[in-house]
Amino acid sequence: MRKSLLVGAVVFCGAAMLLTVGARRAAAQGPAGAGAAAAAQDRSHSYNPMHWVKKDSRNSGALGNRSEAEKKLTPILQSEGVLAANTNATGECEDFADVEACLAALHATHDLGLNFVCVRASVTGVHTSADVSSCKDADHDKPQSLKTVIRVLKPSANAKQAAKNAQLKAKEDLQKIGA
């Protein structure tokens, strides 16, 4: 009998301690909802990781801005020999996330004599109806960097420097049209 009373007393005391500690923590936090209005107004920090990623200012506008840039770029790229006379930048760049990446791929293709279909499939990870069976390593669904694609398609080239040069030319092209 004494053992059961002792166990009961210990359990009761333990429960009382837990309730006391829990009540103190709740009291330290304030009444329910206190500060919620202030916290709701303070939007300086978001816990959503998608809000941490900055948007590219060239791509954040309407789709029309991109198509206008591509229309302006077509004659420039054709005069440089980067685009064939029967193609346009809009058609060639449709699988790319941004115009600058497409321009870099076009310049690398032109400078190194690569097949643009292979480069586009590897850089974007998008496979269209175009035949990529002759392309080395173009069957990945995951996009690869331009440097990696150059290294695979033309091992004799300095892939790092070629990718850097292509990206610089792409930026220059965008500056020409004021984008």
Is residue 67 domain-shared with residue 155, that is, in the same domain? yes
Range of the domain at 18: 1-34
Q: What is the CA radius of gyration of the chain?
A: 30
Is residue 21 domain-shared with residue 100, that is, in the same domain? no
Q: How many domains does the chain have?
A: 2
Question: What single string gives the DSSP state of each residue in 107-140?
Answer: HHHHHHT--HHHHHHHHH----SS--TTSTT---
Is residue 74 domain-shared with residue 159, that is, in the same domain? yes
| pLDDT interval class at 51 (50, 70, 90) | low
List, for residues 159-169, the tens digit of each pLDDT value: 999 999 999 99
Higher pLDDT, 142 or 57: 142
List, for residues 120-137, the tens digit of each pLDDT value: 888 988 877 777 777 776
Residue 107 domain-assigned (yes or no): yes
Residue 58 domain-assigned (yes or no): no
Which structure tokens are listed for 41? 């107004």
Is residue 67 domain-shared with residue 154, that is, in the same domain? yes
Residue 131 domain-assigned (yes or no): yes
